[in-house]
Amino acid sequence: MRDYWEEPETKNKTINTKKIILSILISILVVAIIVIVALYITNNEFRNWIDVEIFRKEISQDGVTTIELDEGETSNIYAFNKYIGILSKNRLSLYGSSGKEETNLEVQITNPLFDSANRFLVIGESNGQKVYVIEDKEVAWESEVEGNISKVCVNKNGYVAVIMTGTSYKSEVQVFDPEGNSLFISFLSYTMAVDASISNDNKYLAIAEVDTSGTIIQSNVRITSIEKARTDPRNSDENNYKSEQNKLIVNIAYQDKDRIVCMYTDTINIMENGQESVIFDNKDKKITAQSIDLKNSITTIQEESSGIFSANSVINIIDVDTRNMQNYTVETSVKEMYTKGDIIALNLGTEVEFINTGGWLVKRYIANQEVSSVTVSDNIAGIIYRDKVEIINL
């Protein structure tokens, strides 16, 4: 009788022991993961080891796909969507990540101005009249404008703005819909348009203007309702942000929630709800490069001395929505910076580091020679040399 009652008690003890061991193992695993994540975030050497040895984020020049260029010919290379585009002899060849030519399009442009968003690429003839829009791998439309093209821009839905000079006005900005229909032209009599941007909902056109006719520089950003401008261009202005005197505006970009990010020579500002505020001030900082051509973020490169003859470059990445700043540091000077969407490419000479707007390394490319230039999109990048382009999948 005693043995009968003691047997269940022994089984219960066995089951409880297994649970305890399992709980201990899970706890050890959780603690290990927390420690590894903490080290990855805080320890640069450990993070670099993990990126290289575990995540395989470092690639060498010998292990990438190459597109050969014809020597002696002028080629203009641009990355958009998932393609590397090479424009030469009025032909635009599009290559995928495998390095295979996927299509070849006739584009009668020799000195191109590029811009891209989503699957759209707009190409304008610098100081010429021709405009082409590529959607994925096809020519969506082409047109000619009156005046000399100084800049082109496209939003993620395929709406295009073209800035022109050399007419009876100081500047003109012509807007096209995704089918290539001209919607309207904004005429600027007294100011020079230096940049333009179309909102993500296709409702507004923002024009960055500079007036240099007086003794002081006056920059402002004009907001135009696209719907109103189609029927009544003279009464289509929704807002006009007038900047402080002697502030020179360089670029503007519409981001989400109809925010307009403005890059001046000394600050980066945000315009929203009728107000303009500073998001980054260059004062007392050695800023070597900055960009607003990112998805809901801006970035600057700040050089800081790390020794008598050496310097680190701190890449400051600011989220436009939260105003939070992430930092990424490289222990050298950055030769050039290229940005698009969520990707920031840093040309360090014989290395290129691709980081995202969260401040994390995406890929590191190690070259055997000096990198001439880089072109980048969200999905693909091209490392440009005199005689070839090397493809990096992001």
Per the listing, tokens 């703005």 go with: 161
Give the full edge-to-edge strand order of the sheet including 138-144. 112-117, 120-125, 130-135, 138-144
What is the spatial distance between Cα 76 and Cα 49, in angstroms, rounded to a whole number? 36
pLDDT tens, N- to C-terminus, the chain (394 residues) = 455 445 555 444 455 788 888 888 888 888 888 877 777 777 777 777 777 777 778 898 888 999 999 877 889 999 999 999 999 999 999 999 999 999 999 999 999 999 999 999 999 999 999 999 999 999 999 999 999 999 999 999 999 999 999 999 999 999 999 999 999 999 999 999 999 999 999 999 999 999 988 889 999 999 999 999 998 888 888 889 999 999 999 999 999 888 999 999 999 999 988 888 999 999 889 999 999 999 999 999 999 887 776 788 999 999 999 999 999 999 899 999 999 999 999 999 999 999 999 999 999 999 999 999 999 999 999 999 999 999 999 9
| 8 Å CB contact between 130 and 155 | no
pLDDT of residue 257: 84
Quote the tokens at residue 380.
């693909």
Is 185:233 a contact under the CB 8 Å cutoff? yes
pLDDT at 1: 46
Q: What is the pLDDT of residue 52?
A: 75
Alpha-carbon distances, residue 234 vs 6, 190, 271, 350 (angstroms): 96, 15, 23, 53
Beta strand 83-88 with 76-80 is antiparallel
Rounded distance between C-alpha atoms, residue 368 and residue 390, angstroms: 12
Q: How far is CA 162 from the centre of its chain?
A: 20
* pLDDT number for residue 15: 59
Note the Cα 317 to chain centre separation in Å.
12
User: What is the predicted pLDDT for the residue at 3?
Assistant: 52
3-state class (DSSP) for residue 64 = coil
Distance, in Å, from the CA atom of 370 to the CA atom of 319, rounded to the nearest integer, reads: 32
Question: Residue 181, SS3?
Answer: coil
Cβ 363 vs Cβ 354: under 8 Å: yes
Report which of 86, 98, 157, 95 is spatially closest to residue 123, judged by C-alpha positions.
Answer: 86
- Best CA proximity match to 378, nearest among 117, 93, 94: 117
Closest CA to 71 of 321, 388, 380: 388
CA distance 305 to 286: 10
Strands (E), 168-296: 171-176, 182-188, 192-198, 204-211, 218-225, 237-242, 249-255, 259-264, 267-272, 275-281, 287-291
For residue 166, the number of C-alpha atoms closer than 13 Å in the C-beta half-sphere is: 12
- Chain centroid, CA 99 distance in Å: 23
Spatial contact of 101 and 137, defined as CB atoms under 8 Å apart: no
For the whole model, what pTM was predicted?
A: 0.88
Are the beta carbons of 224 and 232 closer than 8 angstroms? no
Q: Are 205 and 224 in contact (CB under 8 A)?
A: yes
d(CA 150, CA 127): 6
The string over 216-251, giving b where at least 16 C-beta atoms fall within 10 Å of a residue's C-beta and e elsewhere, is ebbbbbbbbbbebbeeeeeebebeebebeeebebbb
Largest Cα separation within the chain, whole Å, is 112
